[in-house]
Structure 1
Amino acid sequence: MFGILKNMFSKEDNNLSQKINDEAFLVDVRSSAEFAQGHVKGSVNIPLDQIPNLLSKFKGKKNIVVFCRSGARSSQAKAILERNGITNVTNGRTWQNVESLLTK
């Protein structure tokens, strides 16, 4: 079972890495205070509770990667965006995960 999960996440991370390094719109959905304590270089901070009011910021983006502290808020952000017709969204889970996949 562990091998299957490891393989699944490995493929998922390869796909995510390609999107991140192909100039994806990187969106940190944590609070502004959390963002100020550390964030992914080149990311923008749009807290989860502001997403419904800022949908225009997501329109026309080729790939969107949302992330947060644990992956819970980014999962919610992805669902909100998809309900509003923005379907090119990937949940990057944690900001540290996204940061680790950036090509240096």
Structure 2
Amino acid sequence: MFGPQIPTVTVNEITDATYLLDVREDGEWAAGHAPGAHHLPMMELPARLAEVPTDVDVAVICRSGGRSGHVVAHLVQNGWDRVRNVEGGMQQWAAAGRPVTTDSGAPGQVV
């Protein structure tokens, strides 16, 4: 979708040590997200750029990989070198059998 300039990672390559950055909107996050993910909606990124770590592997995820690809491109252009786009996004996360939860700990869903 974005060509070779956008580094990617598969759902199965994400470990507990990876900083998982979910850039979906509030309603999408509330419906269900990966446990341990950090929420930063895409439109808020420019104002909150300092919240994204530069010293660990960062995997950026959205619903299907489009928005997160744009975020990864922006981060790479701004000096991040350990950032990757999650192929297939939360749809692939759920399809791979990875857990999806809500803030209350109840099972969630990808919307």
SS at match of 2:61: strand
Q: How many angstroms does 1:57 deviate by? A: 1.3
Deviation of 1:79 after TM superposition, in Å, equals 0.8
Aligned-partner SS, 1:55: helix
Corresponding position of 2:34: 40
Shift of 1:17: 3.2
State percent identity of aligned pairs. Answer: 31
C-alpha RMSD of matched pairs (Å): 2.1
Residue segments in structure 1 that go unaligned for 5+ positions in a row = 1-11
The separation in 2 between residues aligned to 1:22 and 1:71, in whole angstroms, is 20
**Structure 1 residue 55 displacement after superposition:** 1.4
What SS does the aligned partner of 1:39 have? coil
Give the TM-score of the pair, scaled to structure 1: 0.73
Kindly tell me the number of residue pairs found equivalent between the two proteins: 89
Asked if the contact 1:52–1:80 (Cα under 8 Å) also holds between the matched residues in 2, the reply is: no
1:5-39 deviations in whole A, cap 9, x for unaligned?
A: xxxxxxx53xx534x21511101110011100000
Structure 1 residues 102 and 37: CA distance shift in structure 2, 3 A = closer
Q: Normalization by structure 2: what TM-score?
A: 0.69
Q: Distance in 1 between matches of 2:73 and 2:42?
A: 11
Shift of 1:73: 0.2
Higher RCO (C-alpha 8 Å, min separation 6): 2
More helix by share: 1
- The aligned counterpart of 1:6 is none
